[in-house]
Structure 1
Amino acid sequence: MSRPHEAQRPFFPFGKNPFRMLSPKSSQLSSKLLAVLNNFEETLAERFRKLDPKETGHVLSLSWMELAMKSLCETHSDVQNLITALELPVCDWEDKWMDVYLDISVKLLDICNAFSSEISRLNQGRLMLQCALHNLESSSSEQFVRSSSSLDRWGQHISSRNPRFENCGSILESLMESLDLPKVKNSAKGKVLMRAMYGVKVQTLFVCSVFVAAFSGSVKKLFELSVSDTYLWGLAFSNLLTSVNSSIRNRPSSGRMAIFKELEAVDANVKKLSPLIRSGEGTVEEESVRSSVSNLHRSVDCLSQGLDLLEREVDGFFQIVLTGRDALLSNLRANCPASAQMQKNNVER
């Protein structure tokens, strides 16, 4: 994996909306804590607004998915800043939170690996297309046959299922269940932390569910959640969720596995080119073939660039989760010897 993000915290497993009734203006919080919390929530609200298809103009696309994953990484970075601002020692966190955190962070690593595996599979298909385009540079009929074979193999490959991606649905279900897990103890700093962590969990589940839908072609696992408007980001998230989920559900099916527009463009160009070269009548000199080859070339380049950029962001998120686990366990070993042994046993298990 690339692009390590040092000293950043990953997705934390705290309780489901534990402060539904806690207003951002709650008298229980000092002005300093309110400022820290409000800054975090307003920033999160702005990120949700920037992801709304009404603003970006498209969903689903690799560029939107890259933006969504980048936004998620930024939110996890903000959590680290919030923890630093709160000055809440790890030893003040309860052991049950640590158990759940380690369990959920493993699931996030698993889902990152599944995303990376699917991107690699799509890149393998891209190589088949590049082979076909290379063969089409020749005017020989033999090369045309090879090109046709490469296009057929690409169609079979892209329609197949990735075994490593099959368990993403169950991982998502498990993460959704984590929204209803142990609640925070009664402290002002704890309340701010829990509120912020709820926002992180919601964004993480939303982004991961969209990725699963995009890669699998199935809308069954799209995230649904009603968020209280006591959160400064609640309305922005509700608008985003409605807009994205409806856009995905209303997209016409291409008959392929994935449903993002860069792959759909490649598929459309392959379907247009294949009959021309399969007939044996076309040559590269013919305008229709030249035009179709050119269109396929552009769409493959666009797909390649999008996959490379998305892979970088997924790798970055993997590093955030992994670095967070290491940082947490190091902190425990250094400052909480008793808890450290319990966590060591947890990790080994």
Structure 2
Amino acid sequence: MSRPLDAHPARSFFSFGNTFRVIAPKGSRMSLQLLALLQAFEARLAERMSKLTFKSKDEILSLSWMTSAMELLRDTCNDIRTLISDLELPVSNWDDKWIDIYMDISRNVLDICNVFISEFSRLNTCNLSLKYALHNFGGATSKLFARACSSLHDWKHHVHSKNPRIEKCSTILDNLMGSLGPLKVKNSAKGKVLMQAMYGVKVQTVFVCSVFAAAFSGSTKKLIHLNVADMYSWAPAFSRLQSLINEEIRARLSNGKFSVLIELEVTDAIVKEFNPSIQVDAETINTESLLKTVEELRKAEEKLSQGLDLLAKGVDGLFKVILISRDDLIYAVLSPSNFS
């Protein structure tokens, strides 16, 4: 993925205006203003987690739900950018550990975004077989029907195969998990606010990425259970969300479904309906039941393609936000103004 040249927002993540030249006061006592900034950040974090806790299980783990999860994670990352600006904490006052942690986390998020994009590419390639099958079903000859069935066979073969990059993303998740440990901040109230907010971002990131990895791999081994202390105001919303999603993934996979993704499972079920009809002759091709099944497959394929496209755009949006923030931080650290 490449970053557009005009991708930098008007208000830079690590800007060098007067705000960021203000030196943070000594001491670690949190003022009412800092407390208000932190509470507002955590309230938005809790609200986003609540939005992903649907009442109907039919809404969970659809491509639409996954797109919402990715967009809300992107919004949280943007919130961190705003919080840093509001804290008026110059990069020259950042502890080296803070910078190292942010760069390490963001690198891992970029890596896992690339893994997910590779899965979208694989699924879209599989969908080409569906599109070709539907094209051939439009004909009324046994030859075209045979081609369509052959394409459906190709789809089943490829869609049930595993993406090796998804299988290996456990290492990235382990790295993200390793960053969740508490970081002590001395004599900096603003630093404490930043680190507490960053903890919320890390938890949301690890959770969303682990759910995606489990969904794409069809394995509960990728699921991660995180215990968040009650001291965080967003902890109850997160605990409800985590329990709901993890339990639903385990339930679907224990029922023998090859995928927890609703759109993939629906499409696969329709494709299986063609199995008994592979040897039909020309006279039975245009039966009402067969035409109905073809139409159902057409609608399922369209929904699957549209869902994958929107989800890919959501992941790309997060990728760009992370990439911009990394560039801004590197530029800020290297800027001569930080050493004056």
- TM-score normalised over the length of structure 2: 0.88
**Structure 1 residue 285: Cα displacement:** 1.7
Moved more, 87-96 or 63-72: 87-96
Paired AA for residue 163 in structure 1: P
Question: Is it true that 1:311 corresponds to 2:287 in the alignment?
Answer: no
**Structure 1 residue 259: Cα displacement:** 2.1
**Structure 1 residue 29: Cα displacement:** 1.6
Instruction: Structure 2 unaligned segments of length 5 or more: list them.
Output: 15-27
Residues 305, 254 of structure 1: CA spacing in aligned structure 2 closer, same or farther, 3 A cutoff?
A: farther
Query: Which aligned pairs between 1:136-151 and structure 2 lie closer than 5 A?
Result: 136-151=137-152
Residues 244, 268 of structure 1: CA spacing in aligned structure 2 closer, same or farther, 3 A cutoff?
A: same
Distance 1:53 1:194 in 2: 30
Per-residue CA deviations over 1:33-68 (Å, capped at 9, x if unaligned) read 111111101111111111013278521110000000
Per-residue CA deviations over 1:204-254 (Å, capped at 9, x if unaligned) read 001101100111101112121121222111111111111111111111557
Query: Which aligned pairs between 1:17-28 and structure 2 lie closer than 5 A?
Result: 28=29
Distance 1:9 1:157 in 2: 42
> 2:187: which partner in 1?
186
> 1:117: which partner in 2?
118
Moved more, 94-103 or 286-295: 94-103
- TM-score normalised over the length of structure 1: 0.86
The two structures, once aligned, show a CA RMSD in angstroms of: 2.3
Contact 1:118 1:162 survives alignment (8 Å): yes
Contact 2:173 2:206 survives alignment (8 Å): yes
Distance 1:43 1:161 in 2: 36
Residues 319, 271 of structure 1: CA spacing in aligned structure 2 closer, same or farther, 3 A cutoff?
A: same
**Structure 1 residue 85: Cα displacement:** 0.6
Distance 1:337 1:50 in 2: 40
Residues 56, 48 of structure 1: CA spacing in aligned structure 2 closer, same or farther, 3 A cutoff?
A: farther
Query: Which aligned pairs between 1:99-118 and structure 2 lie closer than 5 A?
Result: 99-118=100-119
Pick 1 or 2: higher relative contact order, CA cutoff 8 A, min separation 6. Answer: 1
Contact 1:224 1:241 survives alignment (8 Å): yes
> 2:209: which partner in 1?
208
**Structure 1 residue 258: Cα displacement:** 3.4
**Structure 1 residue 148: Cα displacement:** 1.0
Distance 2:3 2:306 in 1: 18
Question: Is it true that 1:177 corresponds to 2:178 in the alignment?
Answer: yes
Query: Which aligned pairs between 1:31-46 and structure 2 lie closer than 5 A?
Result: 31-46=32-47
Contact 1:128 1:154 survives alignment (8 Å): yes
Amino-acid identity (%): 51
> 2:265: which partner in 1?
264
Paired AA for residue 295 in structure 1: E
Per-residue CA deviations over 1:250-285 (Å, capped at 9, x if unaligned) read 115576653200000100000012322344477442
> 1:91: which partner in 2?
92
Distance 2:255 2:57 in 1: 23
Distance 1:336 1:169 in 2: 40
Question: Is it true that 1:291 corresponds to 2:322 in the alignment?
Answer: no
Distance 1:184 1:68 in 2: 30
Secondary structure at the counterpart of residue 225 of structure 1: coil
Residues 252, 201 of structure 1: CA spacing in aligned structure 2 closer, same or farther, 3 A cutoff?
A: closer
Query: Which aligned pairs between 1:211-250 and structure 2 lie closer than 5 A?
Result: 211-250=212-251
Secondary structure at the counterpart of residue 301 of structure 1: helix
Distance 1:281 1:53 in 2: 47
Contact 2:74 2:317 survives alignment (8 Å): yes
Secondary structure at the counterpart of residue 54 of structure 1: coil
Distance 2:75 2:83 in 1: 12
> 2:24: which partner in 1?
none
Distance 1:314 1:183 in 2: 32
Residues 3, 60 of structure 1: CA spacing in aligned structure 2 closer, same or farther, 3 A cutoff?
A: farther
> 1:73: which partner in 2?
74
Residues 143, 9 of structure 1: CA spacing in aligned structure 2 closer, same or farther, 3 A cutoff?
A: farther
Paired AA for residue 8 in structure 2: E
Secondary structure at the counterpart of residue 250 of structure 1: helix
Per-residue CA deviations over 1:320-343 (Å, capped at 9, x if unaligned) read 1111111100111114667xxxxx
Task: Report the number of matched residues.
Answer: 322
Contact 2:223 2:246 survives alignment (8 Å): yes
Residues 118, 207 of structure 1: CA spacing in aligned structure 2 closer, same or farther, 3 A cutoff?
A: same
Residues 207, 217 of structure 1: CA spacing in aligned structure 2 closer, same or farther, 3 A cutoff?
A: same
Paired AA for residue 72 in structure 2: S
Query: Which aligned pairs between 1:276-287 and structure 2 lie closer than 5 A?
Result: 276-280=277-281, 283-287=284-288
Residues 239, 335 of structure 1: CA spacing in aligned structure 2 closer, same or farther, 3 A cutoff?
A: farther
Distance 2:104 2:44 in 1: 28
